[in-house]
Chain A
Amino acid sequence: MKLEVEGLTVYFPYESIYPEQVEYMRELKRALDAGGHALLEMPTGTGKTAALLSLIVSYSIHKSFKFKLLYCTRTVHEMEKTLAELRLLASHLPTPTSLLALGLSSRKNLCVNPHVLSAQSRDSVDAACRRLTASWVRSLAHDNPQVPTCPFFESYDRAASAGPDTLLLPPGVYTLGDLRSFGRSKGWCPYFLARQMIRYANVVVYSYQYLLDPKVATIISKEMQKECVVVFDEAHNIDNVCIEALSVSIRKQTLEGATRNLTQMSQEIERLKATDAGRLRAEYNRLVDGLAQRGNLAITDAWLGNPALPDDILKEAVPGNIRRAEHFLSVLRRLVQYLKSRLLTEKVETENPVNFCAAINSQAGIDQKMLKFCYDRLHSLMLTLEITNTDEFMHIQTVCDFATLVSTYARGFSIIIEPYDERMPTIPDPVLQLSCHDASLAIKPVFDRFQSVIITSGTLSPIDLYPRLLNFSPVISRSFTMSLTRDCICPMVLTRGSDQLPVSTKFDMRSDPGVVRNYGRLLLEMVAAVPDGIVCFFVSYSYMDGIVNSWNEMGILQDVMQHKLVFIETQDVVETTLALDNYRKACDCGRGAVFFSVARGKVAEGIDFDRHYGRLVIMFGVPFQYTLSRILLARLEYLRETFQIKEGDFLTFDALRQAAQCVGRVIRSKADYGMMIFADKRYSRHDKRSKLPGWILSHLHDAHLNLSTDMALHIAREFLRRMAQPYDKTGCGSKKTLLSEEDVMKMSEGAMDTY
């Protein structure tokens, strides 16, 4: 259907539209018109992605494709879903438009060369690809046909070299699978094809890292012009992604590996000196000229960029005392030695970067400027040495990464050295962490560079905190609610067990057998009353292990098993995937199942428990972070000093957004229904509860705020019966929840009249 949003014709791929989607589009258009950033919260299951894509693509048609849409997703799965939505939209666009949209992912997801694909991890696929496609390998193969190269890359290169602007990919929407099959049919390498084509594409869908991680961003996204619209979907954890992009942790193994790498490199240098001294000489000369010419490198040699980002670094010349390869290696050796000595500490140490650099300077004789250039110097050296198995050189790269970061940023970071894990003090496991506290550092260049950045998710509450955390000022920030034909979500706050004693996972109460039993009784009552799938979230792995153990001893687990099968998430991904598979099977065949999972775990973030896979989700406790963690304490302090955010506020905000994320897993569309139980007395307090997203709060009736187990059971039974009745999807009268084209027309006319 077509609709008008404030004078803009929007092509929408479905026959009818939800009213909140129209609202969403209107706000989005205003943000685009204003050329500013926006923060939009809309519950899952209301067609956020469809609304976003339709509006932005229509807007860009209106502006005759002046700008690109960069759409960032968290996972490959979401990327595929977005592209599928986009394809549907493309088929509803007016015919003469030539929309080119594609997904971009790592080599592991795009490669079609069977030899390369046989490698397991992402890094080894990258290395295997480099081994076949690096420029020196290819020039070697030119002379000697025995040297293996990648046939896909070679034929792609021939096609691409025909002219810089040849459009290799006909317009259309390409998912990763489409790119692969297109590459296979043409015999072209899909990865490099996609890398090349993002320059011409109208819509690019890729992962957060391509924009946020400065190392990746510099090579992938630097050519994007200012007028791009950037969308971060499911962005409730964006601050954590930013922080992780700039944090480095170094363990004993890292340093040992780095030492090995150094030895290997020095041997290589010796060999090169004997055979081809000219190459080292050439590198030296290049470094004298500065690092700025890296743009001329062949596409296959391109390296993860400098993590520290400031442009001036590229204009400066490399300091003289690390220009010579052997000098640089000895600097690195001293650095590794120094870090090793720091790891030997017996007590926890916290330091800020300035002090740390000063200490390195005085003890190892490496000044800040040398540290700053470590990463680029290493990169250049590895190219000179023609090292292709980059995956083995991960360790020394990590060390250089660390050195560059620590010397570049004076604020917003801290270095924490812990001799052992706080939870297992007997096992020595020293770790040196450079942790970033300021999410705005990584995302700042994105805000600065692009005209409109849209941050959107199902849970962004409280919506005023994000601009402070990310240090930007949105022109639009709004939270939308869901229009429903029936009350299909039923949140409840359970504060007491069946014996009327309060339940909580507060530290002093969590091991109380009464609380454990009350939680067990709750689960037991619920498995008897709720059909198909139930998902339980616990606050941490250790707490889950503990409580499941006690339930087993009390015999509660056996009783639960009479009604439903029990599956548990573990830290092992393969095991968890298997458990999820079987969980789904058990739900399908009517046996029923319970899934025990952990807030902040993989399952809580990425797996949907929609329809019968999740009729009820129980959140046992409030998922606060581990508050004794040094990193968290340092970050809290930083937040208080820099952004005036109180510790308590931040912790509650973080815990509640995790809880909302967990319970939001059960409802993924309007036709769906599900119950949510927040089982902790602390949820009934206003300061905690009010931080839940609006679409949950609007269904949380006052009568459901302070329940005991039996009351919750009664409500659950009633709710399930009510939801099982047939209902009318479109709603009626003023409560219309599905609008046809005429309805939208009428609405906009009505709006005109009121002005």
Chain B
Amino acid sequence: MYGAGVAFQPTSSARGSSKEKKRRDEDDEEEEDDNEGKGTDAWERAYADERSWEDLQEDESGLLRPIDTKTLVHAQYRKRLLLRSSTGGSVASRIQKGLIRYLYIVIDLSRAASETDYRPSRMAVVAKQAEAFIREFFDQNPLSHVGLVTMKDGLAHRLTEIGGSPEVQIKALMGKLECCGEASLQNALELVHGYLSQIPSYGHREVLILSSALTTCDPGDVMETVQRCKKAKIRCSVIGLSAEVFICKHLCEETGGTYTVALNESHFKELLLEHAPPPPAIAEYAAANLIKMGFPQRGAEGVVSICSCHKEAKVGGGYTCPRCKVRVCELPTECRTCGLTLVSSPHLARSYHHLFPVAPFDEVSPHGRPGQRLPTTCFGCQQSFVGQGGAQPSLRTSCPKCNQFFCIDCDIYIHESLHNCPGCESQRNSSV
């Protein structure tokens, strides 16, 4: 269907089989250690960095067992999927979603961000995951814009202007990683409020705060700022790295955002990625609105033109604004000259799936109902459900519409990346 689906595959498979991913991470770490960690002895390193004990858990009888990551991940995924479909996005309820989002990510670079309870430090973890998030965010919301703000020394500082290009943001973020001083929630909110209040009314204003600090050192009454954000319809969400802070919870409750606290790095990643799909639109705010958009043509190869975003002559590539004929390098963006929103049609199409998501599949018990014969292979990947060597049959699910059976990995792939059910699609084709 969409080219995007293929592009997503690495992330989705990483999520589906996180064990593999974990091992890869560990390998990475070991390599790093070999390079830089000459100071510590091998046996120390093994315990200090790998944290192998965290993979164990105690069962009812007090025995230690390795955590079954795969089933855990599957269970979590199912839970998330059902939760999402119940809160919004189900076809029947027709929830409006804000597809054009203006998001400021506030990154906490206060003293608390240098703590090392996440390895190597909270700040590094936040930066790494923020990078992944920005990519994922633009994949899922091609029409949206992101900006970065940092908090340190009691001040808030805008790192990047709000824009539609992931690369610019990531580059800016990676260059600025050092932490000191206090965090100030009020300053950050005031700054963001100042920028976001200029956004046109069809855009959804959002702030995502990645907070390491447990205190906020404010010049005035932060409650007033919270109320102003609420009035300006800015949806504020916070992901905490260490513990629940009252003011953050209050902020999220007031402005309709979500507040979550990460248990560990992988949980943090999960929580962060939950912010990638668009949230349901705030009701009174979601008046239908027509937006003017341009679909620029790709410039011919070999043509030299002056690019409006870098202010220099470039050869080939690029897009031309249909209204003022100016050249831009990337889509989606806003035309520098005439202010027209420039997108390509795949972008629009990719945003579309949020409005018509695939219904969550029903879980089927591995043995099925009596008298019913179950297919032995997955409709998606054609792999056998029965494990090798007579192992316990893996979990399977079925689409409520076309009643085809899928294995859990295909289920994840369909819901997270493909956004179309192969069973339903093939049925439609045959019937037509």
Contacts and interface: CB of A to CB of B under 8 A. Distances in A.
Contacts of B182: 562
Interface in A591-614: 591-592, 611-612
Most buried by A among B215, B221, B242, B244: B215
A113 B246 CA distance: 43
A140 to B, nearest CB: 57
Most buried by A among B117, B185, B221: B117
Given A531-B243, A589-B247, A612-B246, A724 B215 contact: no
A721 B218 contact: no
A691 interface: no
Contacts of B244: 531, 720, 723-724
Contact of B242 (A562, A591, A721): A721
B246 A590 contact: yes
B246 A588 contact: yes
Contact of A531 (B214, B217, B221, B263): B214
Interface string B6-42: 0000000000000000000000000000000000000
B223 interface: yes
A277 interface: no
Given A590-B185, A722-B263, A724-B261, A563 B246 contact: no
Most buried by B among A563, A590, A611, A720: A590
A721 B260 CA distance: 10
A589 B221 contact: yes
A529 interface: yes
Interface string A689-717: 00000000000000000000000000001
Contacts of B246: 531-532, 587-588, 590, 611-612
B216 interface: yes
Contacts of B216: 589-591
Contacts, number: 72
Chain B's interface size range is: 20 to 34
B98 interface: no
Interface in A502-549: 528-532
Contact of B215 (A591, A611, A615, A717): A591
A564 interface: yes
Contacts of A563: 214-215
Nearest to A586: B215
A717 B264 CA distance: 11
Contacts of A591: 215-218
A711 to B, nearest CB: 14
B263 A721 contact: yes
A627 interface: no
A590 B245 contact: yes
Nearest to B240: A724
Contact of B262 (A528, A530, A721, A726): A721
Nearest to B244: A724
B242 A590 contact: no
B248 interface: yes
Nearest to A726: B260
B222 interface: yes
Nearest to A719: B243
A726 B217 CA distance: 27
Given A590-B222, A591-B217, A725 B263 contact: yes
B214 A530 contact: yes
Given A529-B242, A529-B243, A590-B246, A721 B261 contact: yes
A720 B117 CA distance: 13
Interface in B59-117: 112, 117
Interface string A643-673: 0000000000000000000000000000000
Contacts of B218: 589-591
B114 to A, nearest CB: 11
Most buried by B among A564, A724, A726: A724
B215 A590 contact: yes
A589 B223 contact: yes
Chain A's interface size range is: 20 to 34
B32 to A, nearest CB: 24
Most buried by B among A530, A532, A587: A532
Contacts of A723: 243-244
A723 B117 CA distance: 17
B70 to A, nearest CB: 21
B169 to A, nearest CB: 27
A584 to B, nearest CB: 11
Contacts of B117: 717
A728 to B, nearest CB: 12
A531 B245 contact: yes
A542 to B, nearest CB: 31
B14 to A, nearest CB: 23
Contacts of B112: 528
Interface string B220-257: 01110000000000000000101111111000000000
A592 B112 CA distance: 14
A711 B223 CA distance: 36
A724 B214 contact: no
B241 to A, nearest CB: 9
Contact of B243 (A588, A589, A611, A720): A720
B194 to A, nearest CB: 21
Interface in B151-203: 182, 185
A36 to B, nearest CB: 42
A132 to B, nearest CB: 46
B300 to A, nearest CB: 54
A529 B214 CA distance: 8
A720 B240 CA distance: 11
Interface in A66-120: none
Nearest to A532: B246
Contacts of B263: 721-722, 725
A592 B214 contact: yes
B185 A530 contact: no
A532 B247 CA distance: 9
A489 to B, nearest CB: 16
A341 B321 CA distance: 107
A612 to B, nearest CB: 4
A532 B250 CA distance: 13
Contacts of A588: 223, 246-247
B261 A590 contact: no
B261 to A, nearest CB: 3
Nearest to B245: A531
Contact of A564 (B185, B215, B243, B247): B215
B222 A589 contact: yes
B245 A532 contact: yes
B242 A720 contact: yes
A587 B216 CA distance: 10
Contacts of B248: 590
Contacts of B261: 721, 724-725
Interface in B369-390: none
Given A589-B223, A590-B222, A590-B248, A721 B243 contact: yes
Contacts of A725: 261, 263
Most buried by B among A529, A587, A722: A529
A530 B218 CA distance: 19
Contacts of A722: 263
Rank and list the top 9 A-B pairs by shortest CB-CB distance, nearest first. A590-B247, A724-B261, A720-B243, A612-B246, A724-B244, A590-B216, A531-B214, A592-B215, A531-B245
24 contacts: A529-B214, A530-B243, A531-B214, A531-B215, A531-B244, A562-B182, A564-B215, A587-B246, A590-B216, A590-B222, A591-B215, A592-B214, A611-B246, A612-B245, A615-B243, A721-B242, A721-B243, A721-B261, A721-B263, A723-B244, A724-B240, A724-B243, A724-B260, A725-B261
Interface of A: 528-532, 562-564, 587-592, 611-612, 615, 717, 720-726
Given A528-B214, A591-B216, A724-B240, 19 more contacts: A529-B214, A529-B243, A531-B215, A531-B244, A531-B246, A564-B215, A589-B221, A589-B222, A589-B247, A590-B215, A590-B216, A590-B248, A591-B215, A592-B214, A612-B246, A717-B243, A720-B243, A721-B242, A722-B263
